[in-house]
Amino acid sequence: MTEILTRKSGRAGHITLTRPEALNALSWEMCLAAEEALDAWAEDPEVALVILDAEGARAFCAGGDIAEMYRRGLAGDLDFGRRFWADEYRMNAKLAAYPKPIVAFLHGFVMGGGVGLGGHCSHRVVGESAQVAMPECGIGFVPDVGGSYLLARAPGRLGAHLALTAARMGPGDAIHAGFADLFVPEADWALIKERLIETGETSALEEAARPAPDSPMAQAQDQIDALYASGDLVAIEAALVASEGELAQAALKQVRRNSPLSMATTLAMLARLGPDPDDIEAALAQEYRVAFRIMQQGDFLEGVRAQLIDKDRTPRWSLPLDGVAPERVAALLAPLGEDELAL
């Protein structure tokens, strides 16, 4: 069975992830197939817009399929992961700059690679089941697939909170954080897709949209801004320790669980992008510098082992939380010369 279905229907190009048994985890082949369809439809007069969705009730896309990347990297083959990431990031950039509307229907788990696929589209629809997150620091990586761009653009210090804790956003939170645009009840999605296919116009979305559900993160925005104001990992941990609130204590557990090197690097990435970046390609280039080096210089292989391979949930990180030297972070983010990401 194919992992992705691409076809033209009426006035729409339609891309559907068809790997529900794996929570629609995004493989290299799926990335290339999606990109091929997007390229074919960009100037096709029969295609007025693109619909992006997924089969199965549990997930739009729970992340990238990194098991093979882990196996290759463990054996010393670093090029496999680098080529996968380069192709995926190129697709992310195309989604963000696509000349026609792309309507992404985001349900269930939308994490990591799923955010890269659906989070940069022009019309991002979330339903009541959406759980959006960037959990990369938990596997010794950094938010990538353009995720650092979205995190940097989130209100206040919310991006740092989301990155360091892998906190899951419900539909209201996702809209507040800038990871989604519209809330539409999932019971209405089939009819809306029919109208998009029939008309090739996005007006049906605005007509079907409902007020966004409450956002606990919006309500906690001032507290989040204060806790993460320093932008420094050790100072953030201290602020979380000093706070007795439920949000802070839950965040503290995650911060102490995730890779210190990954978290410190992520904070540096967000600082370099600034509070309101407008260039996703700069964010992707920065992410690729880390991805290029992460298997040799970071905690990626150990994080994937602990979380996804052995599943013992006890990673042995390379550095303690208070022991990440700035030089280690700078080395991961240094320019790559002739190996820089080419989009």
Let me know if 13 is a catalytic residue. Answer: no
Catalytic one among 65, 144, 181, 287?
144
Q: Is 113 designated active site?
A: yes
The CA dihedral of 130, 132, 138, 139, to the nearest 10 degrees, is 90
Hey, is 145 helix, strand or coil? coil
Sequence-separated (6 or more) residues with CB below 8 Å from residue 315: 140, 259, 299, 302, 303, 305, 306, 307
Q: Measured between alpha carbons, how far is residue 39 from residues 32, 123, 136 in Å?
A: 10, 19, 29
Within a 13 Å sphere around the CA of 318, how many CA atoms are in the beta-carbon half?
A: 21
Candidate list 113, 119, 159, 170, residue with the active-site label: 113
- Which of 136, 173, 181, 237 is an active site residue? 136
Long-range contact list for 209-213, CB < 8 A, 24+ apart?
A: 209/182, 209/183, 209/184, 210/183, 210/184, 210/185, 211/183, 212/171, 212/172, 212/175, 212/176, 212/183, 213/128, 213/170, 213/171, 213/172, 213/183
Asked if 118 is an active-site residue, the reply is no
Residues 64, 73, 112, 119: which is the catalytic one? 64
144 is catalytic: yes
Residues carrying an active site annotation = 64, 113, 136, 144
